[in-house]
């Protein structure tokens, strides 16, 4: 556990030692403002909630999170520092989880800094703050799902751009798997159990439920298992690369 904390602090500090973290946070905040107040029409809806705010998060994360995660391992492999890192007396699992948690914490900081939007909604009306808090937590878990994929794709290649493209492509698939438009496209003769299974793997299926205030432990469990599976895949890829 000690080595995990050290790696977490090292990685999180490295983000703020360069302009990367600040650029990410600024772009994230500006994008959320535009999507919520302009495209989402928060003021013209006549309803004090943050549904417009959260409805854009899956699509915002689709590009923002891979931009953070693409260099988790790709840069280490490109510069050759991964060999040095893996020769240190630390477990590979601690390194994988520590690097992931640092990037996840950065997304959490960016998400927390959107609190003025939450305050605005409370100023305009009387929203259900319990639902909003749950949606914030659900949004952060969803960001972790995107980031876990980014970790695995970054471990597969030395090229950060390729890691970014692969991550965006795979994340897009998991987003649209829960899209009502795609689910309605299935022919009527298609077995319903397969449609439900397909839908259950989609991010929107679980996040939309949380964002609307339907708190089901299965939605949080989905993201937790999803993250763990992709981080395990990251460790396997790194082990295979090391063996080669």
Average of pLDDT values for 157-182?
87
Neighbours of 163 (CB within 10 A): 26
Q: Which one has a higher pLDDT value, 147 or 84?
A: 147
Domain residue limits, the chain: 2-243
pLDDT band of residue 180 (cuts 50, 70, 90) is: confident
pLDDT, tens only, 31-51: 988 888 777 666 666 676 788
Structure-derived torsion over alpha carbons of residues 133, 135, 136, 142, reported in degrees to the nearest 10: 150
Average of pLDDT values for 203-215?
84
Q: Which of 20, 220, 63 is nearest to 137 (CA)?
A: 220
**Interior CA angle at 157 toward 154 and 160, to 5°?**
60
**Interior CA angle at 145 toward 142 and 150, to 5°?**
135
Average of pLDDT values for 103-128?
90
Does this model's pTM top 0.75? yes
- Does the structure show a pLDDT above 70 at 189? no
């Amino acid at each position: 556990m000690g080595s995990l904390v050290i790696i977490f602090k090292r990685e999180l500090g490295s983000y703020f030692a360069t302009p990367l973290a600040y650029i990410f946070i600024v772009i994230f905040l500006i994008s959320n403002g535009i999507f919520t107040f302009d495209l989402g029409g928060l003021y013209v809806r006549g309803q004090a909630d943050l549904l417009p705010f959260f409805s854009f998060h899956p699509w915002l994360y689709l590009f923002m999170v891979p931009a953070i995660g693409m260099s988790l391992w790709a840069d280490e492999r490109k510069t050759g520092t991964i060999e040095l890192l893996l020769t240190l007396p630390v477990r590979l699992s601690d390194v994988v989880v520590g690097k992931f948690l640092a990037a996840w914490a950065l997304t959490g900081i960016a998400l927390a800094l959107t609190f003025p939007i939450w305050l605005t909604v409370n100023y305009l009306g009387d929203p259900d703050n319990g639902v909003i808090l749950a949606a914030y937590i659900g949004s952060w878990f969803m960001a972790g799902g995107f980031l876990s994929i980014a970790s695995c794709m970054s471990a597969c290649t030395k090229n950060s751009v390729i890691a970014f493209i692969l991550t965006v492509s795979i994340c897009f698939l998991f987003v649209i798997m829960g899209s009502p438009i795609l689910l309605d496209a299935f022919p009527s003769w298609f077995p319903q159990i397969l449609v439900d299974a397909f839908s259950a793997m989609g991010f929107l299926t679980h996040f939309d439920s949380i964002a609307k205030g339907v708190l089901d432990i299965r939605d949080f469990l989905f993201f937790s298992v999803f993250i763990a599976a992709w981080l395990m895949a990251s460790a396997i890829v790194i082990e295979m690369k090391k063996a080669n």
